[in-house]
Amino acid sequence: MMEGFPLIAIAVGLLYLAALACIYRILLTYRTSQGAIAWIIGLLGLPYLTVPLFLLIGRNRFGGYVKARRMGDESLTALLNRFEQQTTSIPAPGNDRFQDELQVLCKLGRQPFTDGNQCTLLRDGEATFEALFEAMEDACRYILLEFYIVRSDRVGQRIKSILERKLAQGVEVWFLYDDIGSAFLPRRYLRELSRAGARVASFGDGNIRRRRFQINFRNHRKLLVCDGKVGFVGGINLGDEYLGTAMDQDPLRDTHCRIEGPAVSGLQLAWLEDWNWASDELPNLDWSAGEHTPGDQEVLILPTGPADSWETCTLFFLNCINNARSRIWIASPYFVPDFQIMNALQLAALRGVDVRILIPETPDNHLIKLAAYSYLVQASQAGIGIYRYQPGFMHQKVVLVDDRYAAVGTANLDNRSMRLNFEITAINTDRQFVSGVEQMLEEDLKSCRLMTERDYRDRSILFRLTCRAIRLSAPLL
């Protein structure tokens, strides 16, 4: 027994050395003190559990992507720099505050607002898929897809059928998916696309050495670009659930938008960065969308993610909330804000802004639903309206700021979108588009129930304790 003791001592010593190495990394890179303290306590108290857990999900920066983006291929770097250096087209006569507010978003996304766009709001899965199918059918040169979830159901098979037909016609196809979100996508689906000539990659396919211990990150973006001229972005994945085909299921309520014009190059650039990470390949794409101006709408494409220098997604939401004057309406399926976002929402409501948060009555994650209850007292006392959408699962990610601009994209009001997911959002300042978003959300609000403080206070002490306990785990939800 004494002979085995030195081995046990060595193992324990190595374990604590690993824990200290993890703590060293936390102290150098932490973004929230609460999360850092929680990890450090776990690493010191239960290192045999916390060290492997930290290696799997504790990282908050996506290593390697920045180098692949900014220090890799010269042609990609030149494209990024060219977009970043373009001047915004925002007219702001006598309204410097509005100009400054939107210039912040340009700096966050390292892209400019572009003029001459035409955006169409797509309010449900049926309209979105019809527009997606039509755009792919009309493609002449190439099709770029990037989706978090792809299913092999009727929608997924229709997508594959169109892509195979277009490949036979000589159209090039690049198909990028997230390997966690699409974990149940049959390998056969991907093999058949590859055999037809499509280039297929998952976001987790990036260089193994660069992506080790980074499984907690997700590519949550959903976009399509055809020929560099037409693009789509929003919350809709590729699956039948958006059509409500099951007998006992309402269709998911979600929003997408179709874009023509210079902003499509911004979508294409975000896709190219992700594809370059996943495959080390830079396709030859058409960047002449800026030469065509099918409309007069000003649009900014804002990619955000854990490879950014700042918490770009958090700053986007804070910028919207802090600059709202008359209203800030946010639709998100997941409402688990950190203290920064919650404080900003409270301050907005206290200064008289109409703050409304639309969340689903029936989410796809019961823990998220319970965590949201714990915010009701803070929200109600400040005058924040939290509305639960009743007919099925609401999955849209939409922001409306006054009557000045609206955003449609993939980012939720939770820690994962703020710090762990690669997201993308289209921001539009056109009055007609903003009015369309307003009308859409007003229709949604008619199907919502306003929650009150009593929805939380009148529940059992066990329920309230459970909600508060789940809220503590918000960084992991």
Per-residue DSSP letters for 187-251? HHHHHHHHHTT-EEEEGGGS-HHHHTT-TT-EE---EEEETTTEEEEES--BSGGGTT-STT-PP
pLDDT band for 317, please (50, 70, 90 cuts).
very high
Q: What per-residue confidence (pLDDT) applies to 165?
A: 97
Task: Report the mean per-residue pLDDT for the chain.
Answer: 86
Written as one letter, the residue type at 456 is Y
Does the annotation mark 414 as catalytic?
no
What's the rounded mean pLDDT across residues 412-433?
94
Tokens 């809220």: give the residue: 471
Does the annotation mark 73 as catalytic?
no
Choose, from 308, 402, 414, 430, the residue flagged as catalytic. Answer: 402
What does CATH list as the number for 65-88+116-297?
Answer: 3.30.870.10
Does the annotation mark 274 as catalytic?
no
Number of neighbours of residue 355 by Cβ within 10 angstroms: 24
Which of the listed ranges 48-57, 184-193, 216-225, 281-290 does the model predict with the highest average pLDDT?
184-193
**Do 65-88+116-297 and 312-476 show the same overall fold?**
yes
Check residues 55 and 360 and name the one with the higher pLDDT.
Answer: 360
Does 209 score more than 50 pLDDT? no
CA distance 231 to 176: 15
Q: Domain extents for the chain?
A: 14-57, 65-88+116-297, 312-476
Q: What per-residue confidence (pLDDT) applies to 68?
A: 53
Does 294 score more than 80 pLDDT? yes
DSSP string, 357-376: EEEESS-S-HHHHHHHHTTH
Choose, from 115, 178, 227, 444, the residue flagged as catalytic. Answer: 227
Residue 17 and residue 10 in contact, taking contact as beta carbons nearer than 8 Å: no
CA distance 19 to 27: 12
Contacts of 456 (CB under 8 A, 6+ apart): 373, 374, 376, 377, 464, 467
Does the annotation mark 220 as catalytic?
yes
Choose, from 222, 229, 256, 369, the residue flagged as catalytic. Answer: 222
pTM (predicted TM-score): 0.87
- Class of 312-476 in CATH: alpha beta
Residue 342 and residue 321 in contact, taking contact as beta carbons nearer than 8 Å: no
CA distance 92 to 399: 21
Choose, from 166, 220, 256, 369, the residue flagged as catalytic. Answer: 220
